[in-house]
Amino acid sequence: MKLKQNLFNQFFVISVSAFILTNTALAETILPSGLEIAQQVNARNEGASVSRNLIMEMVDRRGKKRVRETRGFRKYYGEEKRTMIFYLQPKNVRKTAFLTYDYPQADDDQWLYLPAMRKVRRISSSDRGDYFLGTDFTYEDIKKESKVGIEDYHWKTVGEEAIDGHHSYVVEATPINDDVAQELGYSTVIYHVDSDIWMVRQSDHWDIRDNALKTINFRDIRLVQDIWSAHILEVNNHKTGHHTRFLFSDIDYSTEVTDGIFTQQSLRRGL
């Protein structure tokens, strides 16, 4: 199993490295810079607010599947973003809720409501490299959604390719220092950004020991109320064989999300 994993790692690294080497010269001359692409990704309209249903499917290497049904809300307050996720099913996680205040220039504030304790707990925002409630997404992945952490990385365009038939720029992101790498749990991330709609279609992640860690695919990207929206997010963890699929539905950018959703009272009360 270990040999298989090593071979996979080597194949993964060699493939991407070869791609990067052959495209670097081209990238430096005619393609937009990595930072420009990252800025374009983050400038893309996500709507002032959104509500949506989300089904999380988590499958281990033996094929055992766990399913979570949730409802999520997100709203921008200037540059500050607030996100709430309510767990609806199954019973053993029902009423669990997660609230984040994401600030542009400061550590985030995060709270978790655990129904077994009937208490809202403050969570350290530096846990952003931890996996989010058993999924293969980290807290940071959840927070960023389809955007990227510009301030956390050095950005470099390394080529272009087609992902799911769509022309994409390939951008290498390396953490700005070891502390950030440790926090995020990544030594390198390769983003594949659709050049037409400035959405990430795929990202490949390496852990801090430079082993291939996981690949995230953004699929079923469609316009919803004039906003490009991925309806399926899929993560394959190359180290554990575990994978997670997020299925979004009933995405609504037009109905106003009230401020009262993003409070500790709302965490406790649930939907």
- Residues within the interface to other proteins (CB under 8 A): 58, 60, 66-67, 90-92, 94, 107, 109-110, 115-119, 121-127, 129-131, 133-136, 185, 240, 242, 263-265, 269
Closer residue to other proteins, CB minimum distance, 32 or 270: 270
Nearer to other proteins, 19 or 101 (CB): 101
Backbone dihedral angles phi then psi of residue 60, each to the nearest 5 degrees? -85, 180
Minimum CB separation from other proteins for residue 16, in Å?
Answer: 24
User: Which residues, 6 or more positions from 132, have their beta carbon under 8 angstroms from its beta carbon?
Assistant: 138, 139, 141, 142
Cβ proximity to other proteins, 133 vs 212, nearer residue: 133
- Of the two residues 165 and 260, which places its CB atom closer to other proteins in the complex? 260
**What's the CA gap between 223 and 85, in Å, rounded?**
23
Phi, psi of 143 (to 5 degrees): -65, -40
Distance CA 218, CA 146 (A): 8
Minimum distance, C-beta of residue 104 to other proteins, in the bound complex (Å): 15
Token digits of residue 122? 């403050």
**CB nearer other proteins, residue 133 or residue 230:** 133
Least separation in angstroms between CB 125 and other proteins: 6
Q: Please state the closest distance from residue 106 (CB atom) to other proteins, in A.
A: 8
Is 197 or 247 the residue whose CB approaches other proteins more closely? Answer: 247
List Cβ neighbours of 169 (8 Å cut-off, separation of 6 or more). Answer: 31, 32, 37, 157, 159, 160, 192, 193, 195
**Measured from the CB of residue 259, what is the shortest distance to other proteins in angstroms?**
10
Residue 165 token pair: 């038939």
Smallest distance, other proteins to C-beta of residue 18, A: 31
Beta-strand pair 200-206/80-89 = unpaired
Q: How far is the CB of 50 from other proteins (least distance, A)?
A: 20
For other proteins, which is the closer residue by CB, 50 or 99?
99
Residue type, 189: V
Q: How far apart are CA 208 and CA 218, in angstroms?
A: 23
Cβ pair 191, 168 in contact under 8 A? no
Cα dist from 153 to 76, 149, 176, 188, whole Å: 23, 7, 5, 9
